[in-house]
């Protein structure tokens, strides 16, 4: 492939004047020397076309179309590049994305399709700290969409041969998930080569197809697309997928978890026999729930030495490398339920000089494999750390080695370990969690210069 192969980006657009400039600017900012950017406008009636006139390098086609799939197909019919992708009119590329793709895509090494990571932004373009789950395993796993969709559309690039073999976009689906349909076809013939870099952003805004549909509806529509590629009922793949979907719908883990919670409620109401029946049924239905939610925490709390190490190994509820969990690793705020992930970043405005940092929270260690150590930084400088060896509320007060002047300052709290609720409760909660805040102001500064922990 040439040193600077031509890249064609197709952007379908209709009445996206609020976002289209940011999208176009993100492509321009790539500073890539051989770029073709085609905008297929569906006859916008807002200021989209006026905005696009600011960019003479664009190839803009404005005409009525039959929807997004038709617009994208028309765009690629005009494409002359050696690498193709489409970028929706409210999404963006991050700096260096196209240069990275050129370095990684290589048909001679079987890299016909390249896929990077993609981060979500809010309607105003601010990073949320959450990414689209990103991983490619196989064509079958792409079809098993009920296990989670892990192909982030804005970060997928391919060679023209892939489109000629597997395209174009289907225009008759009747649902919005045309990219998933396309990737079902791509994955049947090609492996998606994964690049561990965030290449693009996906905007979560009220008009987007993601925001305008419930999760349950999106899944059912995606399952209907998946079924198009299961093949004949005489094939092993068809029955493997049928069984996989049936197991998902039966929801063995969810049923067992519900029975366990019913047992707890019955126990609170002193209905001992009912509680036992619920727990026994849950244990028979899903022994892993009985172990992870009931038996393991109780045994680990009382165990010591080698037995505790063995239980930690058997428990296996610590950090996870699943794409669903990786998608949350960049989240640095406090979750709505008070939990904090591996890294918390808080900005605080102070009006007087300060020499002391106070952090107040709660450690819940029953699902951690090892003691929790929190490290504290102020404005990028480490100021101390604290080991938390038991589940309880804690208050850390650290004297700062420097004087903080009035103004805004950044506090970072880094946790040494964390757990994923889904690993023990099988509840679909893939967040990496470390500790909890117990009030609205977990971080404070003061003028005192003392150091203690309670």
Answer positive or negative: Cα dihedral of 363, 366, 368, 370.
Answer: positive
Count Cα neighbours of 293 within 13 Å in the Cβ-side half-sphere. 23
Residue 317's pLDDT is: 45
Q: Average the pLDDT over each of 7-16, 174-183, 297-306 and give the range with the smallest value.
A: 297-306
Give tens-digit pLDDT for 284-320.
888 876 666 666 666 666 666 666 666 666 555 444 4
* Annotated domain spans of the chain: 7-227, 252-315, 323-453
Report the 3 state secondary structure along the chain: CCCCCCEEEEEEECCCCCCHHHHHHHHHCCCCCCEEEEEEECCCCCCHHHHHCCCCCCEEEECCCCCHHHHHHHHHHCCCCCEEEECCCCCEECCCHHHHHHHHCEHHHCECEEEEEEEEECCCCCEEEEECCCCCCCHHHHHCHHHCCCCCHHHEEECHHHHHHHCCCCCCCCCCCHHHHHHHHHHHHCCEEEEEEEEEEEECCCCCCCCCCCHHHHHHHHHHHHHCCCCCCCCHHHHHHHHHHHHHHHCHHHHHHHHHHHHHHHHHCCCHHHHHHHHHHHHHHCHHHHHHHHHHHHHHHHCCHHHHHHHHHHHCCCCCCCHHHHCCCCCCCECCCCEECCEEEEEEEECCCEEEEEEEEEECCCCCCCCEEEEEEECCEEEEEEEECCCEEEEEEEEEEEEECCEEEEEEEEECCCECHHHHHCCCCCCCECEECCCCCCEEEECCCCCEEC
Contacts 24+ apart (CB under 8 A), 259-265: 259/285, 260/289, 260/290, 260/293, 260/294
Q: What is the mean pLDDT of residues 367-380?
A: 90
CATH fold of 7-227 reads Spore Coat Polysaccharide Biosynthesis Protein SpsA; Chain A (3.90.550)
Does the pLDDT of residue 451 top 50, yes or no? Answer: no
Residue whose C-alpha is closest to residue 97's, from 201, 26, 199? 199
| Assigned architecture for domain 323-453 | Sandwich (2.60)
Residue 393's pLDDT is: 94
As a whole number of Å, the CA-based R_g of the chain is 26
Does the pLDDT of residue 450 top 50, yes or no? Answer: no
Are the CB atoms for 11 and 37 separated by under 8 Å?
A: yes
Mean of per-residue pLDDT scores for the chain: 90
Q: What is the mean pLDDT of residues 238-260?
A: 90
What's the rounded Cα separation, in Å, for the pair 391 and 362?
7
Name 340's Cβ contacts closer than 8 Å, sequence gap at least 6. 334, 361, 413, 415, 433, 434, 435, 436, 437
Give tens-digit pLDDT for 61-98.
999 999 999 999 999 999 999 999 999 999 999 999 99
Residue 318's pLDDT is: 44
What's the rounded Cα separation, in Å, for the pair 357 and 378?
9
Q: What is the mean pLDDT of residues 321-339?
A: 93
What's the rounded Cα separation, in Å, for the pair 209 and 205?
9
What's the rounded Cα separation, in Å, for the pair 261 and 58?
58
Q: To 5 degrees, how large is the angle CA 314–CA 316–CA 320?
A: 165
Residue 208's pLDDT is: 55
Burial label, 372 (beta-carbon count in 10 A; 0-12, 13-18, 19+): buried
- Quote the pTM value: 0.87
Residue 184 token pair: 């079902």
Q: What is the mean pLDDT of residues 8-19?
A: 96
Distances in Å between the Cα of 340 and the Cα atoms of 48, 211, 344 are: 41, 25, 7
């Amino acid at each position: 492939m040439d040193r600077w192969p031509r890249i064609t980006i197709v952007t379908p657009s209709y009445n996206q004047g609020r976002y289209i400039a940011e999208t176009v600017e993100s492509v321009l900012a790539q500073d890539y020397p051989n770029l073709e950017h085609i905008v297929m406008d569906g006859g916008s009636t807002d200021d989209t076309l006026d905005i696009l006139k600011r960019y003479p390098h664009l190839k803009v086609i404005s005409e009525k179309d039959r929807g997004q799939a038709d617009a994208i197909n028309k765009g690629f019919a005009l494409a002359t590049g050696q690498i193709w992708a489409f970028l929706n009119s409210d999404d963006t590329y991050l700096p260096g994305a196209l240069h990275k793709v050129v370095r990684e895509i290589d048909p001679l090494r079987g890299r016909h399709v390249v896929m990077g990571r993609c981060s979500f932004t809010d309607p105003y373009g601010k990073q949320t700290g959450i990414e689209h789950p990103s991983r490619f395993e196989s064509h079958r796993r792409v079809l098993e969409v009920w296990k989670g969709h892990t192909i982030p559309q804005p970060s997928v690039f391919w060679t023209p041969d892939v489109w000629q073999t597997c395209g174009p976009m289907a225009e008759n689906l009747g649902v919005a998930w045309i990219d998933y349909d396309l990737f079902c076809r791509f994955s049947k013939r090609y492996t998606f080569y994964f690049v561990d870099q965030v290449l693009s952003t996906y905007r979560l805004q009220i008009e987007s197809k993601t925001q305008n549909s419930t999760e349950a509806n999106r899944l059912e529509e995606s399952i209907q697309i998946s079924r198009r590629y299961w093949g004949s009922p005489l094939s092993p793949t068809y029955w493997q997928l049928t069984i996989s979907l049936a197991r998902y719908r039966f929801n063995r883990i969810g049923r067992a978890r519900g029975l366990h919670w019913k047992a707890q409620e019955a126990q609170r109401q002193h209905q001992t026999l009912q509680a036992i029946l619920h727990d026994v049924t849950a244990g028979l239905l899903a022994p892993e729930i009985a172990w992870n939610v009931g038996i393991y925490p109780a045994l680990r709390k009382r165990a010591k030495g080698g037995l505790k190490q063995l239980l930690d190994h058997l428990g296996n509820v610590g950090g996870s490398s699943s794409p669903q969990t990786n998608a949350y690793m960049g989240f640095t705020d406090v979750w709505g339920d008070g939990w904090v992930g591996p890294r918390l970043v808080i900005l605080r405005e102070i009006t007087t000089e300060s020499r002391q940092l106070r952090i107040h929270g709660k450690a819940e260690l029953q699902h951690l494999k090892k003691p929790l150590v929190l490290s504290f930084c102020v404005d990028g400088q480490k100021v101390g750390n604290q080991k938390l060896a038991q589940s309880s509320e804690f208050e850390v007060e650290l004297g700062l080695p420097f004087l903080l002047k009035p103004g805004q300052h950044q506090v970072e709290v880094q946790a040494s370990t964390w757990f994923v609720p889904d690993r023990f409760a099988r509840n679909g909660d893939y967040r990496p969690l470390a500790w909890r805040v117990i009030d609205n102001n977990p971080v404070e500064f003061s003028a005192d210069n003392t150091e203690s922990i309670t």
